[in-house]
Amino acid sequence: MNIFVLNSGSSSIKYQLFRWPAERPVCSGLVERVGSAQATITHQVFDLQAPANPPAETKLTLPLADHEAGLHEVVRLLTAAPGGIIADPADIAIVGHRVVHGGETYAAATRITPAVKAEIKRLFALAPLHNPANYVGIEVAERVFAQARQVAVFDTAFHQTLPERAFRYALPTALYTEQRIRKYGFHGTSHQYVAAQAAAYLQKPDARLITIHLGNGCSMAAVRDGQSLDTSMGFSPLAGLVMGTRSGDIDPSVLLYLLGPLGYTAEQVNTLLNKESGMLGLTGSNDMRDIGAALAAGDARAALAYDLYAYRIRQYIGAYTAVLNGLDAIVFTAGVGENDALVRSRVCENMEFFGLNLDEDKNQQRLPGLRELNRPESRVKILVIPTAEELEIARQCADLLSR
């Protein structure tokens, strides 16, 4: 059964094709600058018989008017001989869509119906940067893969198990009951995937875990019994940790100060907090590789930024250990979490009280797959688990439709 996983952004399309139940994708790709005359497609085909072989890669630069044109081009690549993966778009049985916001309506993967589409549309107001692009992806996929079953997997769904004390803000009740202002949490598919991997590795289904997703966006979750009990992002993906370009937690009075005495418009504040803050605001770069290099060269701004980044994570580890009443493992994942040894080292420094004891030699090794980085005497396991959101989406699609 072919499952096509689609992540449709405002000007990009990310995709992976799974020949289920194989958990490795047969191909993956990225379409960028959709809507321009210089759009690009990077399409990789993997040799599942010899996974160590490098993928066969096709790179194209071409005009793509819109997402529909982009997806048609992807279909052309999927069906092109030689190396064609499918003979016809009708060979795709399921399209699994990553949808960022499912509000309070969706706690699991959901078959897309007109009512589901209407709800995703209603949630545009809560996720103006993401849901409209996800919606376009659904509409286009319904036309291009007309025979396939379309499934939505929501980034918020995993966090629907948060207790009310964790998801409510101390605002007048009507703002929750009438306007649905509350913590939703994001990156749910990633937290769910790595938490399940960790629990399986520990052979402890009821493990108390703190999952730490550090990519361009960063978030943490407190997970027990495979359920999310709290998470650091909130009403939007702006809250919590210091991120590549997002500020994370900030006193809301700063916004009022910007909007009032400093004369910013709401749009400027939005841009400032989402696109110009975080590591970019602190250092001038949002890429940890650049910031790590600057730090190594003695740059004081980079040093402070690393400190702040790790300090915030450590604060959340403390908070979530209290939420969980103990801790079996912390899990690092995503671009920074999987690759940046210095971040992991800073996070685990002076955390003996919390039972974290990092083996610095293991931390420095670059190995693929799940890794355990703690010393044998560490009370808490320190794990690196590569995230695989597309695989998790494919898995949830297959589960949903086998029921």
- Alpha-helical runs (H) found in 111-158: 114-122, 131-144
Half-sphere exposure of 300 (CA within 13 A, CB side): 0
Please tell me the distance from the alpha carbon of residue 126 to that of residue 124, in angstroms, as a whole number: 5
In the annotation, is 155 catalytic?
A: yes
44 touches ligand AMP (CB under 6 A): no
Q: How far is CA 370 from each of CA 201, 228, 333, rounded to the nearest angstrom? A: 9, 21, 10
Looking at the Cβ atoms of 336 and 383, the one nearer to ligand AMP is 336
288 touches ligand AMP (CB under 6 A): yes
Looking at the Cβ atoms of 102 and 278, the one nearer to ligand AMP is 278
Residues constituting the chain: 403
Q: Is 331 exposed, middle or buried (0-12, 13-18, 19+ CB in 10 A)?
A: buried
**288 marked ligand binding residue:** yes
Chain positions 150 to 209 lying near ligand AMP, rule: CB under 6 A, are none
215 touches ligand AMP (CB under 6 A): yes
> Measured from the CB of residue 174, what is the shortest distance to ligand AMP in angstroms?
36
**183 marked ligand binding residue:** no
339 touches ligand AMP (CB under 6 A): yes
Looking at the Cβ atoms of 334 and 380, the one nearer to ligand AMP is 334
3 φ, ψ (degrees, to nearest 5): -115, 120
Q: Which residue is nearest to ligand AMP (CB)?
A: 335
Which one of 159-167, 230-238, 329-337, 394-402 is the stretch in contact with ligand AMP (CB under 6 A)? Answer: 329-337
217 token code pair = 């966006």
Sign of the alpha-carbon torsion through 242, 248, 254, 259: positive
335 touches ligand AMP (CB under 6 A): yes
226 touches ligand AMP (CB under 6 A): no
Looking at the Cβ atoms of 91 and 287, the one nearer to ligand AMP is 287
**217 marked ligand binding residue:** yes
390 touches ligand AMP (CB under 6 A): no
289 touches ligand AMP (CB under 6 A): yes
Looking at the Cβ atoms of 208 and 344, the one nearer to ligand AMP is 344
Beta strand pairing call for 227-231 and 2-8: unpaired
302 touches ligand AMP (CB under 6 A): no
Q: How far is CA 57 from each of CA 67, 150, 321, rounded to the nearest angstrom? A: 21, 27, 44
Which one of 115-123, 167-175, 330-338, 394-402 is the stretch in contact with ligand AMP (CB under 6 A)? Answer: 330-338
Please tell me the distance from the alpha carbon of residue 392 to that of residue 76, in angstroms, as a whole number: 26
Q: Which helix (H) or strand (E) covers residue 29, if one does? A: strand 25-32
**214 marked ligand binding residue:** yes
DSSP track, 71-119: HHHHHHHHHPSSS-S-SSGGGEEEEEEEES--TTT-SS-EE--HHHHHH
310 touches ligand AMP (CB under 6 A): no
Looking at the Cβ atoms of 327 and 336, the one nearer to ligand AMP is 336
274 touches ligand AMP (CB under 6 A): no
163 token code pair = 């207790």
Catalytic residue among 155, 230, 328, 340: 155
Binding-site member from 25, 244, 248, 355 for ligand AMP (CB under 6 A) = 244
340 touches ligand AMP (CB under 6 A): yes
Please tell me the distance from the alpha carbon of residue 195 to that of residue 201, in angstroms, as a whole number: 10
Contact residues toward ligand AMP (CB under 6 A) are: 215-216, 244, 287-289, 334-336, 339-340
Residue positions annotated with a catalytic role: 155
Q: Which residues are annotated as a binding site?
A: 7, 14, 98, 213-217, 287-289, 335-339, 389
